[in-house]
Chain A
């Protein structure tokens, strides 16, 4: 049985069901469960549902200590930026303790936070910080894009024996969708093909899945068949499903709401370049936010963020090999004062503009791993 539900509701449903199932799950955070009328409080009582002061370091650190001693805490952090004031606990405590103890302890906890609030929240409350956490071995990073995924991934995050950063996109909070009732758990590390297509693969997360699906609809009207893949968890990352899709379509566009540099999209692009190069019939392209902070005023914000139009244009450029310039053309890097200064330091200023000869490129390609390690029943990357 399934029921229409909002993305926000679906997360809450998972938390309630898991708390009913497992008495070790506790839930706390700032500005929550403040009155006796609170439904969570009514269901589970003050022992398991608590109000925290504005103390992210202690909130997350307490979750770590509680997790290694037998609870499964969920910390409501509201916005992913608030984790930044407690970054030691997120990246240098929670994912380290099991490893440093030689496997003697486990750290089952969920850090729940919203992100990407593109609604005039300006520089410090609109960011997408998943890329900062997906490179922390020991940490899992979950980014649901639909109400059903919001529920199934939350249930999996709570049941997981590792620290999980669960990031929900604020722009999807009111999104309606069919959500399975009762126990519904989506394994972490399994991507989902949100739309099947043949001509090009679009990999997107969070709100960008919705934008990519809308773009795919428009492209379909023009006879272009785009496949939309949502990794759903960025760590562990299901490279296998992405490579399989690229093998089929031969083309890849990545859509990321975060700035381009060191983005999740760039990491996924690198995986495909390394393990799926022989399948590519065109260069990989990334549609991301510009490398700026998020501005307040609407036209500025719109200019910085990726949108349907940019996705459609980029897909067409890849398919028809149009000479649409990338976000930062090579010339932009070359005209960069720092690069020029470096170049000037060398006797040969062309060092940085020289194209590599064909032999330089082809030799490594012949040795390229063909992606088989992701495709032929090799152990799942964790």
Chain B
């Protein structure tokens, strides 16, 4: 059975590049609140810190496999080939946005790139991903559905009901539980029974008698190996698995919830802003998955300094273009608001 050991340097550099693209996109989103105040409305959630987990998981995909995350959804479509220009335009509420300005940050959808949609209500998209796996099974398409959600979602009924049904029906779905230790603003030690008992959250899989495994989500190769095994199992008809991928969300839950016209921006991470745990946050920053993976590739001799610099420059240009594209895109015509209510 193939593992991450079989990944060639091209593929590993591709993975590193995708991680960097996600990070740069999120950085530009975050900076928008300062550079272009008012350009983004509502609530925006970032995936910085999740890059290794997202890319490690998605690197195992087959061409037509579907990806369905929660509302913290920017990272996945970047890897799937969605246009960062259109994504940024969507966040800016412009007519060239991925969803024509109807969805915004929490509701990205790009079915043409195997990204059927997201839900802004915690945990509910777990059921949708499970349903997409039902389609794959009924139509015998050979697809596997990659379902991503946070630790907070695992306290929703949708999580328990969906995993039970997926196990009963042996649906081809891989559940990736992204444990970033904070459900919105509350630390996991205040709300998760497994955590309190000193158990990994993957123990929840035992409730459905399906495989459950915990991996270091800051190492893309560990995630790759676990997700590949789960996807193979799902594709073979053996049903779902639960993978707990542990990493640390590097930004706050979202931009501050301020009532207009008060400006909003990203506050300090909850670890610092709410709980005063400065050292916890400093430690997480030190374990940032991106420089870690870059150093590893360099150590293996797969990535030279100049090449790393070139990749960084390219990614920076790409995301700068995305911002410029979004700023230049006209707002939607108001009367379009009555479109798309019914098919």
Q: How far is the CB of B220 from chain A (nearest CB, A)?
A: 27
Q: What are 22 contact pairs spanning A and B, CB under 8 A?
A: A47-B138, A48-B138, A57-B127, A57-B157, A58-B164, A62-B127, A63-B131, A65-B68, A65-B135, A66-B132, A68-B111, A69-B66, A93-B121, A97-B119, A98-B341, A99-B102, A100-B109, A101-B109, A102-B97, A103-B340, A103-B343, A161-B343
Q: Which of B109, B111, B126, B343 has its CB near the most chain A CB atoms (within 10 A)? A: B343
Contacts A68-B128, A69-B135, A100-B109 given; indicate if A61 touches B117 (C-beta within 8 A).
no
Indicate if the CB atoms of A58 and B341 lie closer than 8 Å.
Answer: no
| Contacting residues of chain A (193-229) with chain B, CB-CB under 8 angstroms | none
Query: Which of chain B's residues have a CB closer than 8 A to the CB of A71?
Result: 131, 134-135, 138-139
Known: A68-B117, A102-B102, A104-B99. A93 touches B164 (CB 8 A): no
B215 lies within 8 A of chain A by Cβ: no
**Interface assignment of B212: CB less than 8 Å from any CB of chain A:** no
> CA–CA, A99 to B342, complex, Å?
8
* Residues of the A chain whose Cβ atoms lie less than 8 Å from the Cβ of B139: 24, 70-71
Task: Evaluate contact between B342 and A162: CB separation under 8 angstroms.
Answer: yes
- Give A264 to B128 CA distance when docked, in angstroms: 30
User: Which residues from chain B sit less than 8 Å from chain A, CB to CB?
Assistant: 66, 68, 97-103, 107, 109-112, 116-117, 119, 121, 124, 126-139, 157-158, 161-162, 164-165, 168-169, 339-343
Given contacts A66-B132, A99-B340, contact A58 B162 (CB under 8 A): yes
Report A-chain residues with C-beta under 8 Å of the C-beta of B137.
47
In the complex, what residues of A have CB within 8 A of residue B121's CB? 88, 92-93
* Complex Cα gap A99–B138 (Å): 26
Report whether B162 and A61 are in contact in the complex, using a CB–CB cutoff of 8 Å: yes
A26, A48, A92, A93: residue with the most chain B Cβ atoms closer than 10 Å: A93
Taking the closest CB of chain B, its distance from the CB of A346, in whole angstroms, is 30
A344 at the B interface (CB under 8 A): no
Closest residue of A by beta carbon distance from B133: A65
Chain A: interface residue total (CB-CB under 8 A): 46
A93 touches B124 (CB 8 A): yes
Could you tell me if B165 and A102 are in contact, using CB atoms closer than 8 angstroms? no
A65 touches B134 (CB 8 A): yes
CB atoms of A61 and B340 under 8 A apart: no
Determine whether the beta carbon of B135 is less than 8 Å from that of A70. Answer: yes
Q: Considering residues A55, A65, A92, which has the most beta carbons from chain B within 10 angstroms of its beta carbon?
A: A65
Chain A residue at smallest Cβ distance from B136: A69
Beyond A26-B138, A61-B130, 16 additional contacts (C-beta under 8 Å) are: A48-B138, A53-B161, A61-B158, A65-B68, A66-B131, A66-B134, A66-B138, A68-B116, A71-B138, A71-B139, A100-B117, A102-B109, A103-B100, A104-B111, A108-B343, A140-B342
A69 and B100 in contact, given A50-B169, A57-B157 (Cβ under 8 angstroms): no
Is A89 at the interface (CB under 8 A from chain B)? yes
A67 close to B (CB within 8 Å): yes
